[in-house]
Amino acid sequence: MTIILKNKTLIFDDFIFNCSIGKKGLIKKKVEGDKRTPIGIFSLGNLYFRKDRNTKPQTKLKCIPIKKNMGWCNDVKSKKYYNKLIKVNKKIRHEKLFRKDYRYDFVIPINYNTKNIKIGKGSAIFIHLSKRLLPTAGCIALQKKDFLILVKIIDKNTKIKLI
């Protein structure tokens, strides 16, 4: 089954969730830092969660507790680590997963630009949390109650179609 994103709404089976997307909308040719959400059909990664703030959610996805040293490389100068989960390193630009705010208390990487990675094509595209559904830097954000429902009904074979 496929999650469909349409008009700031995620649709899966009979469920409809309001969400937010990149501040500048959707785009086919994404570029790192353009504040846009990529168009296409993508698979989903594992579910990362803050074990110190939440219990492991009910889901068929593989759940990985977020550690303080976890980050996601968005450094266009790093061929080796670009758009990959990394141990936080001051020399490599990254998106910190263990945040002070709640946004990444639950996060699922969208497998955009993860095979045959193209440097600068965009990185760290996630489904994460938002309280007021404010625009993102390119991710998809859901309110916590909706995120927890979504992860209950999807599995590792679920795709997401961003149109």
Closest CA to 73 of 41, 120, 130: 120
pLDDT digits (tens, 9 = 90+) for 111-132: 999 999 999 999 999 999 999 9
- pTM for this predicted structure: 0.97
Task: Kindly state the helix (H) or strand (E) to which residue 145 belongs, with its residue range.
Answer: helix 144-153
Query: What is the pLDDT confidence band of residue 89, given thresholds at 50, 70 and 90?
Result: confident
C-beta of residue 49 within 8 angstroms of C-beta of residue 43: no
pLDDT-derived band at 100 (thresholds 50, 70, 90) equals: very high
Residue 121's φ and ψ, nearest 5 degrees, are: -85, -5
Cα–Cα dist 96/23, whole Å = 20
CATH code assigned to 2-162:
2.40.440.10
Region 53-82 average pLDDT: 97
Map out the domains of the chain as residue ranges: 2-162
Residue 133 has pLDDT above 90, yes or no: yes
Question: How far is it, in rounded angstroms, from Cα 125 to Cα 72?
Answer: 10
